[in-house]
Structure 1
Amino acid sequence: MSKKTRHEEHEEHADESWLLPYSDLMTLLVALFLAMYAMSATDAQKFEQMAQAFKSVFNGGSGVLEYKSDAPTNTQMDQGKEEKMNNVIAPNTGKDEIAKLKQKEQEELEKLKKQFDQYIKNNGLTDLLSTKLNQSQLTITISDNALFSSGQAVVKDDSRQLAKSISTMLQQFPDYDVLVEGHTDNIPISNSEYPSNWDLSVARALQFMKILLLNPYLDPVKFSPIGYGEYHPIADNSTAAGRAKNRRVEVSILRKYLDGAQTIDPAATGK
Structure 2
Amino acid sequence: MKKKRHEHHEEHIDETWLIPYADLLTLLLALFIILFASSQIDSKKFEQIMKGLNSGFNGGTGMFEQSNIVPLTVSPNIEKKKEDEKKKNEQESQQEQQMKALHDKEMQDLKELQQKLDGYIKDNGLLSQLETKLNEDMLKITIRDNALFQSGSAEIKQESQVLAQSITSMLSGYNQYNVEVAGFTDNVPINTREFQSNWDLSAKRSLNFMKLLMQNGKIDPAHYRSIGYGEYQPIDTNDTAEGRAKNRRVEVNIIRQINSAGAKSFIP
Taking structure 1 as the reference length, what is the TM-score of the superposition? 0.63
Could you tell me how far 1:136 is from its partner in structure 2? 0.5
Distance 1:91 1:220, change over 3 A: farther
Q: How does 1:54-73 map to 2 (within 5 A)?
A: none
Could you tell me how far 1:215 is from its partner in structure 2? 2.0
- Indicate yes or no: 2:166 matched with 1:151: no
Contact kept? 2:184, 2:202, Cα under 8 Å: yes
Unpaired runs of 5+ in structure 1? 1-89
Larger gyration radius, structure 1 or structure 2: 2
Give the distance between the partners of 2:267 and 2:259, measured in 1 at CA: 13
Distance 1:91 1:170, change over 3 A: farther
Could you tell me how far 1:155 is from its partner in structure 2? 0.3
Give the distance between the partners of 1:123 and 1:168, measured in 2 at CA: 16
Q: Residue type of the partner of 1:227?
A: G
Equivalent position of 1:125 in the other structure: 126
| Structure 1 SS opposite 2:264 | coil
Give the distance between the partners of 2:140 and 2:267, measured in 1 at CA: 13
| Structure 2 SS opposite 1:119 | helix
| Structure 1 SS opposite 2:232 | coil
Equivalent position of 1:138 in the other structure: 139
Unpaired runs of 5+ in structure 2? 1-90
Equivalent position of 1:191 in the other structure: 192
Distance 1:123 1:259, change over 3 A: same
- Indicate yes or no: 2:227 matched with 1:226: yes
Contact kept? 1:136, 1:264, Cα under 8 Å: no
Equivalent position of 1:244 in the other structure: 245
Give the distance between the partners of 2:217 and 2:266, measured in 1 at CA: 25
Give the distance between the partners of 1:152 and 1:171, measured in 2 at CA: 28
Deviations 1:67-108 (A, max 9, x none): xxxxxxxxxxxxxxxxxxxxxxx9785322221111110000
- Indicate yes or no: 2:173 matched with 1:175: no
Percent of counterpart pairs with the same letter? 48
RMSD: 1.6
| Structure 2 SS opposite 1:225 | strand
Could you tell me how far 1:258 is from its partner in structure 2? 1.9
| Structure 1 SS opposite 2:131 | strand
Equivalent position of 2:203 in the other structure: 202
Give the distance between the partners of 1:178 and 1:94, measured in 2 at CA: 26
Give the distance between the partners of 2:92 and 2:255, measured in 1 at CA: 22
Deviations 1:134-179 (A, max 9, x none): 1100000000000000000000000000000000000011000000
Moved over 3 A (4+): 90-93
| Greater shift in the superposed pair: 155-164 or 97-106 | 97-106
Contact kept? 2:136, 2:260, Cα under 8 Å: no
Taking structure 2 as the reference length, what is the TM-score of the superposition? 0.64
Give the distance between the partners of 2:192 and 2:147, measured in 1 at CA: 22
- Indicate yes or no: 2:237 matched with 1:263: no
Equivalent position of 2:103 in the other structure: 102
Give the distance between the partners of 2:118 and 2:267, measured in 1 at CA: 24
| Structure 1 SS opposite 2:126 | coil
Deviations 1:188-245 (A, max 9, x none): 0010000100000000000000000112111111110000000000000000000000
Q: How does 1:43-62 map to 2 (within 5 A)?
A: none
| Structure 2 SS opposite 1:131 | strand
Q: Residue type of the partner of 1:168?
A: S
Q: Residue type of the partner of 1:130?
A: E
Higher helix fraction (1 or 2): 2
| Structure 1 SS opposite 2:154 | coil
Contact kept? 1:179, 1:266, Cα under 8 Å: no
Could you tell me how far 1:260 is from its partner in structure 2? 3.4
Equivalent position of 1:213 in the other structure: 214
Contact kept? 1:182, 1:227, Cα under 8 Å: yes
Deviations 1:98-140 (A, max 9, x none): 2111111000000000111000000000000000001100000
